[in-house]
C-alpha cells in the first residue's frame, strides 16, 4: 500500500517560511503544503496560488487535515506556537533557534514525549554540500586525528536593516542566528565540548544587537581530545575567510565558499532544478607523508540537499526512520547557546559538561 500524503501547515511567511520551508518541504514526495497561517495572503498566493491561507495559528491548528505544523515565526514565538501545536496533537518542526533558552526547549521536549508526537528542529545546514563533504572526510580519517577545526560564516552587510532580527528583542542577534548552525555542526562532528568561551560585539555603526561572534570550544577529554574548535561569524567581512579549516596529525583541509542552496532559493529556484545543490568549489586537501613530503590535491565537494531533512521528517512520522534532529539534540544545543551568552557576559570560559 502506498504511504499517505502528509499535509503540512506553515506558521509565518517571512524570510524563513518563504525561502527555506515552503519550497523545500513541497519538493518531498508524500509531503504537501496544505495551509499557511499568514497576515499576507497575497504574498503567499503569489508563490502558492492553490494553498489555503488562514489568518492565525488557531485557525491552522483547528484544521483536522493538517498533520505537521512548521513554525517559521519570529524566534520569540517558537515556544508558544510549538506548544500549542503539540497540545493540538500535531507533529511539529521548528525553525532554528529552537526556543529562546534551554528551559523552553526542555518544556517542549517533555510535552512532545507526553503527546507521542514528533518534534524536530530545522537544522538544514547539516545538509550543506560542504558539511556533508567534511563529515565524510573526517569519517575516512585521512587527516589522522583532527587537532584544530575552524568554521566561519562571514558576510558583508554593513547596513543595519529594519527587521526584528537586528532589533533588541528576545531571540535577536547573530549568536542565536548563525551560532545555532555552527555550534550544531561542531557537536555533530565532535560531540559536546568540555568548555566554551564566547566573545560577541556590535561592530557596525548603529548596530543594536551583536553582529559578530568568536567562540572557542575546548575538547580536553574523550576520543577527540586534545582538540580546539573555533566558530566565527561577522557581518563585516568583504573578504571572507575560508568556510572550513581543519588541521590533523596527517594533513590539513581547506574549503572556501558556501553551500549554494540558500542563494538558489533566494533567487526563486526550487529543489529538483538542474544541478540543484551542486557546489562548484572544490576543497583542498594536503597530506604529509612519513618522509615529510606534502601532496596537495583538489577534493570535489558533494551536492547538498535540504530536501533530505524533510524526507527524514516524513519517514519519522510514518514510523519508517529516525527523527533527523531529535528533541534531545535540540535541548543540548540550546544549553550551549545559553552557556555562550553567559560566557560573553562574564568574559571567561565556562564548563560545558
Domain boundaries, the chain: 6-123+308-325, 126-305+336-351
Q: Residue 206 in contact with residue 157, Cβ under 8 Å?
A: no
DSSP state of 41: H
What is the CATH number assigned to the segment(s) 6-123+308-325?
Answer: 3.40.50.720
- pLDDT per position as a tens digit, 117-132: 999 999 999 999 999 9
Per-residue confidence (pLDDT) for residue 251, from 0 to 100: 96
Mean pLDDT, residues 67-81 taken together: 97
Model confidence at 293, pLDDT cuts 50, 70, 90, reads confident
Q: Give the pTM.
A: 0.96
- Whether residue 291 has pLDDT greater than 90: no
Model confidence at 206, pLDDT cuts 50, 70, 90, reads very high
- Whether residue 352 has pLDDT greater than 90: yes
How crowded is residue 110: how many other Cβ atoms within 10 Å of its Cβ? 12
CA–CA dist 301, 130 (Å, integer): 6
- Whether residue 232 has pLDDT greater than 90: yes
Per-residue confidence (pLDDT) for residue 1, from 0 to 100: 55
Its sign, for the CA torsion 99, 208, 177, 184, is negative
Using CA atoms, how far residue 185 sits from 6, 182, 191, in Å, is: 29, 5, 9
Using alpha carbons only, what angle is made at residue 21 by residues 255 and 156, rounded to the nearest 5 degrees? 40
Mean pLDDT, residues 20-43 taken together: 97
> CATH topology for 126-305+336-351?
Dihydrodipicolinate Reductase; domain 2 (3.30.360)
CA–CA dist 182, 177 (Å, integer): 10
What percent of the chain is predicted at pLDDT more than 70? 99
Looking at every residue in the chain, the average pLDDT score rounds to 96
CA–CA dist 327, 119 (Å, integer): 6
- pLDDT per position as a tens digit, 132-180: 999 999 999 999 999 999 999 999 999 998 888 889 899 999 999 999 9
**In the beta sheet, which residues pair with residue 298?**
284
DSSP state of 80: H
End-to-end CA distance of the chain: give it in Å, rounded.
Answer: 47
Mean pLDDT, residues 281-308 taken together: 93
Task: State the alpha helices, DSSP H only, in the chain.
Answer: 15, 22-25, 41-47, 57-61, 78-87, 102-115, 129-140, 174-177, 179-190, 261-266, 307-317, 327-346
CA–CA dist 80, 104 (Å, integer): 9
Q: Residue 135 in contact with residue 56, Cβ under 8 Å?
A: no
Per-residue confidence (pLDDT) for residue 186, from 0 to 100: 98
Q: Residue 35 in contact with residue 41, Cβ under 8 Å?
A: no
- Whether residue 2 has pLDDT greater than 70: no
Model confidence at 292, pLDDT cuts 50, 70, 90, reads confident
Per-residue confidence (pLDDT) for residue 162, from 0 to 100: 85
Amino acid at each position: 500500500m502506498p504511504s499517505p500524503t502528509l499535509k503540512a501547515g506553515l506558521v509565518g511567511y517571512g524570510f524563513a517560511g518563504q525561502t527555506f520551508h515552503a519550497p523545500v518541504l513541497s519538493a518531498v514526495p508524500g509531503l504537501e503544503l496544505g495551509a499557511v497561517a499568514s497576515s499576507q495572503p497575497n504574498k503567499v498566493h503569489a508563490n502558492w496560488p492553490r494553498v489555503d491561507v488562514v489568518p492565525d495559528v488557531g485557525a491552522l491548528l483547528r484544521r483536522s487535515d493538517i498533520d505537521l505544523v512548521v513554525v517559521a515565526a519570529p524566534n520569540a514565538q517558537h515556544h508558544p506556537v510549538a506548544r500549542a501545536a503539540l497540545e493540538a496533537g500535531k507533529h511539529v518542526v521548528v525553525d532554528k533557534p529552537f526556543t529562546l533558552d534551554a528551559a523552553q526547549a526542555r518544556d517542549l521536549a517533555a510535552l512532545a514525549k507526553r503527546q507521542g508526537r514528533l518534534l524536530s528542529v530545522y537544522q538544514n545546514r547539516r545538509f550543506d554540500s560542504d558539511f556533508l563533504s567534511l563529515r565524510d572526510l573526517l569519517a575516512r580519517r585521512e587527516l589522522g586525528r583532527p587537532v584544530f577545526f575552524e568554521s566561519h560564516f562571514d558576510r558583508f552587510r554593513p547596513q543595519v536593516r529594519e527587521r526584528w532580527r537586528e532589533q533588541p528583542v528576545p531571540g535577536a542577534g547573530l549568536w542565536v542566528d548563525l551560532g545555532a548552525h555552527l555550534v550544531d555542526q561542531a557537536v555533530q562532528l565532535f560531540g559536546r565540548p568540555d568548555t566554551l568561551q564566547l566573545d560577541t560585539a556590535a561592530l557596525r555603526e548603529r548596530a543594536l544587537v551583536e553582529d559578530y561572534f568568536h567562540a572557542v570550544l575546548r575538547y580536553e577529554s574523550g576520543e577527540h581530545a586534545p582538540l580546539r574548535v573555533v566558530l566565527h561569524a561577522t557581518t563585516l567581512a568583504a573578504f571572507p575567510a575560508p568556510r572550513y579549516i581543519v588541521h590533523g596529525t596527517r594533513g590539513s583541509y581547506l574549503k572556501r565558499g558556501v553551500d549554494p542552496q540558500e542563494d538558489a532559493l533566494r533567487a526563486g529556484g526550487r529543489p529538483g532544478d538542474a544541478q540543484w545543490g551542486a557546489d562548484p568549489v572544490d576543497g583542498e586537501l594536503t597530506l604529509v607523508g612519513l618522509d615529510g613530503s606534502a601532496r596537495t590535491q583538489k577534493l570535489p565537494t558533494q551536492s547538498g540537499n535540504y530536501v533530505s531533512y524533510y524526507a527524514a521528517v516524513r519517514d519519522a512520522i510514518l514510523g519508517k526512520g529516525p527523527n533527523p534532529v531529535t528533541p534531545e539534540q535540540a535541548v543540548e544545543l540550546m544549553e550551549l547557546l545559553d552557556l555562550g551568552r553567559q560566557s560573553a557576559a562574564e568574559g571567561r570560559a565556562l564548563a560545558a559538561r
